[in-house]
Structure 1
Amino acid sequence: MREGPGRFADHPLRAAALNEVHARPFHMMEAPRITLHLAFMTDAPQADAARARLAALCLRNGLPIPGEHARHHVVPLSGGFLRFEVHAEFTTYSWDARGGVGDLPPETPFGEAFEAPGPLMVAARLDLVRDERAVAHLVENFDPGSLAVSRAAGGRALVATDFREDGDGYTRLLVVDRGLGPQEAGPIVQRLLEVETYRTLAMLGLPEAQRLQPEIRHVENELVKIGGLFRASEGLETNRNLLDELTLLAGEVESGAAATAFRFGASRAYAEIVGLRLKAMDEQPIEGYSSFSDFLARRMAPAMRTCQTLESRQQDLSRKLARAAALLRARVDVELSQQNRALLDSMNRRARLQLRLQQTVEGLSVAAVSYYVVGLVGYLVKGSSVLGIELDPAHVTAYAVIPVVLLVWLMVRRIRAHHGGKGED
């Protein structure tokens, strides 16, 4: 009998969970090396199409093709290595080859035949070089107004960027090897590219926050206005109109919150990843220069606080609108109850009047029916001579009044009781 865990049935997701930690291994690099990194915003169909085009390219060149649902793939291409990765809302291509600071290589995978899977979001060029010159000479081609320079990997590397595009449209990143091993250079390059990618994606929340600020301010002002009217409002119709206005404002706030929830959440996550990647590089500042952490903290932190503040305002405003609507709804319910009670009292009064009228009509109907019945008795008595009986019509009619009235009255009560019993059933 087979021993060990292999004899047990695997969970359907076990392989995916085990392989995830090996999904994006660091690539060993040695200077001089150039890396071009592109990130495109993609949805699921666009990512699938990009994977299919990569598979066709690999097939034409006799290279291993990515799996049907593969989220990453590495192939040798154009004298270097091309890395393809699919993320939640973007797809990246990273290509590295031997080279250094200077012009772009004449042949790259991103020539005219390359078809972008979606809108371009990140374009970065990273040069890994060996150079013992002073820092000032290494960064002389960067913009000093936005320059960030740090030591990394315990001082065995120097990293620099100005976060600006060069003439080719790439953000320039520089890694100077000052004693790195191939197993150290690869992780630093990958982390720097991730910092550039995620710091750009984190900023996507800022335009959304700026777009929503006037709307949130408008709703806040309207809530203050409605609050003042609420204190002085009287009457069911007035309070109903105020409740309708509050409901519209609440719907506006909830719609905006639902539309931006993913964007603000993604910005928070991307900003956290940037911090983690910088921490993993073991960054050390260089005197006279801003470090990566300091520069990004000054530029990214205000944007992230703006997003966080607006998200908090949305949530706070939603709670305030809910409380105000609940108070108004309670007032409307009370006024409706008072109206209903007044209506019931009015209906009771009308029912009592109707009962009295009915009793009056019944009394009159008893008298009227009795009158006609007594009249019929009188006519019968007058015609009694035909039967050979002589009766005094006046006396017989007088004697018949009381019995007839009693009989008619009993009959009317019986009919009323009969109909009343049917109504109760």
Structure 2
Amino acid sequence: MTFAQPVAVALPDHPQRVPLANELHARPFPSLRAPGDAIHLALKPLDDAARDREAERAHLLDLLDRHGAAHPPPGATHWSGRLGRCELKWESHTEFVTYLLWEEGATGPAFHPDLLRKFPADWLAAAPGARIASALIRVEPAPADETIVARAAEWFVPESLTLSRVLDDKAVVAGDFRLDAAGHMRFAVFAREGLGDRRTGRVVQQLCEIETYRAMAMLGFATARDLAPAMADLDRRLSALIESMASDAARHAETLHDLLGISAELEHLSARSGYRLSATVAYETIVLQRVAALRELRFGGRPTLGEFMQRRFDPAMRTAGSTDRRLGSMSARALRAGNLLRTRVDVERSAQNQRLLESMDRRADLALRLQHTVEGLSVVAVSYYAVGLALYLLGPLEGALPIGKPLLAALVAPVVILAVWWGLRRIRRSLH
């Protein structure tokens, strides 16, 4: 059968098209052959500090150089290869880096503390970050069910032991999510015949991811626990301020100042914890997805991984989620209270402005009345002087006519007064 040659399409690719398509295949599951031991490490900077990716790459290259292994290309986010008798899988994630070291052909005791020595002690001490998760995983061919129960009882704490059939009963997974003396979680995988190397690697990888993402999600619970005292104090102060707003005697300017202070503290808490609480939701989702992908079935009446997560992990996630919602609710309450208080202050200021306008109207009315009074007095005063001037001007007529000065003044005064009044009225109208 012959295949047609691909036809070149004269279309430019988006710069991110090829990298994003390759990202779907960036982290394949390792291919692991039972029996064997796996050591998993996840390293993260302390206190959400910014990651130094160059230092992380240099740390990886130091380990590879000690075994003469090839280097990953610059900017790579994952690498797989042999380190002596072991297989190493390195991955760089958003907040942490992981190392999965696999040694095939387990012959010694399970979960021996010397397993960690496969990573050099000085190399571990120079790590650019702290251990957020680590796990030892023992993979063995599945014996009889009774032997599996006996080994699980020997290796794990019975009170928190989880035991389940996974991948349609192709394997049995055991663990107790307790730290051993060296600070590792322990898991055991009993692989039945026909599981295959790739599916074995898939189970081991998913157990590592469950443990790592569980540990990262629990950082949100720690954040919620640290926020609880401050949130309780802010909630009490906010409730007291809202109650004081109902009193007419409350000094609203001081209340608004205190409310702005509480709002600023809430915003600070939100900024400090917002990323961690949001990331917790994402990590919790990944944990539950990885557990669901195992397709668990109950083994011997023991709890499954999913049941353990529901009973022990889910309450912590609910606490983190409720803290995030409570913080948002308190911020919304403070915002509503601030809006209500500002509305009340605006209403009071409007009432004060109304009273001020009414007072100004009364004063303007009084000023107008006073102005009319002054204008009347002005007419009298001006008329008085105008009559005097008119008598001086008409003085020569007094001798020529048989009219005395008093009669002449009586005849002139009305005309002068009327002329002055009309003149002042005209001037006032022209000014208006």
TM-score (norm 2): 0.83
CA deviation after TM superposition for structure 1 residue 371, in Å:
2.2
In the TM superposition, 1:232-271 aligns within 5 A as 233-234=247-248, 238-271=251-284
Structure 2 unmatched ranges of 5 or more: none
Which letter does structure 2 place at the counterpart of 1:149? Answer: L
Partners of 2:256 and 2:117 lie apart in 1 by: 66
Which residue does 1:423 correspond to in 2? none
CA deviation after TM superposition for structure 1 residue 343, in Å:
1.5
Secondary structure at the residue paired with 1:104? helix
Which residue does 1:185 correspond to in 2? 200
Secondary structure at the residue paired with 1:154? coil
May I ask how many residue pairs the two structures share in their alignment? 414
* 1:295 counterpart = 2:290: no
Match for residue 121 of structure 2 among 111, 117, 123: 111
Secondary structure at the residue paired with 1:7? coil
Which residue does 2:295 correspond to in 1? 282
Verify the 8 A CA contact 2:173 2:187 in the aligned structure 1. Answer: yes
Verify the 8 A CA contact 1:127 1:174 in the aligned structure 2. Answer: yes
Partners of 2:10 and 2:88 lie apart in 1 by: 39
Secondary structure at the residue paired with 2:314? helix
In the TM superposition, 1:224-373 aligns within 5 A as 224-231=239-246, 233-234=247-248, 238-373=251-386
1:7-60 superposed Cα distances (whole Å, 9 cap, x missing partner): 321122211221122110011011232222221224554234312443566578
Verify the 8 A CA contact 2:51 2:95 in the aligned structure 1. Answer: no
Which letter does structure 2 place at the counterpart of 1:147? Answer: L
Match for residue 165 of structure 2 among 131, 139, 151: 151
Change (3 A) 1:403 1:57: farther
Instruction: After superposing the two structures, state which structure 1 stretch, 185-194 or 292-301, moved more.
Output: 292-301
Which residue does 2:39 correspond to in 1? 36
Secondary structure at the residue paired with 1:412? helix
* 1:171 counterpart = 2:185: yes
Structure 1 unmatched ranges of 5 or more: 421-425
Secondary structure at the residue paired with 2:427? helix
Which residue does 2:417 correspond to in 1? 405
Which residue does 1:15 correspond to in 2? 18
Secondary structure at the residue paired with 2:177? strand
Verify the 8 A CA contact 2:142 2:171 in the aligned structure 1. Answer: no
Q: Structure 1 vs Structure 2: percent identity of aligned residues?
A: 37
Verify the 8 A CA contact 2:37 2:137 in the aligned structure 1. Answer: yes
CA deviation after TM superposition for structure 1 residue 195, in Å:
0.7
Partners of 1:407 and 1:126 lie apart in 2 by: 119
Which letter does structure 2 place at the counterpart of 1:269? Answer: A
Over the aligned positions, Cα root-mean-square deviation in angstroms equals 3.2
Verify the 8 A CA contact 2:37 2:103 in the aligned structure 1. Answer: yes
TM-score (norm 1): 0.84
Secondary structure at the residue paired with 1:124? strand
Partners of 1:66 and 1:364 lie apart in 2 by: 106
1:120-166 superposed Cα distances (whole Å, 9 cap, x missing partner): 21122222233637124423132223322222233332222222223
Match for residue 56 of structure 2 among 29, 34, 50: 50
CA deviation after TM superposition for structure 1 residue 99, in Å:
5.4
CA deviation after TM superposition for structure 1 residue 279, in Å:
1.8
Change (3 A) 1:372 1:82: farther
Match for residue 202 of structure 1 among 200, 217, 221: 217
Change (3 A) 1:53 1:375: farther
Change (3 A) 1:44 1:213: closer
CA deviation after TM superposition for structure 1 residue 230, in Å:
3.8
CA deviation after TM superposition for structure 1 residue 91, in Å:
2.0
Partners of 1:296 and 1:283 lie apart in 2 by: 13
In the TM superposition, 1:47-126 aligns within 5 A as 47-55=53-61, 63-98=69-104, 100=106, 101=110, 102-105=112-115, 108-114=118-124, 115-126=126-137
Which residue does 1:160 correspond to in 2? 174
Instruction: After superposing the two structures, state which structure 1 stretch, 340-349 or 216-225, moved more.
Output: 216-225
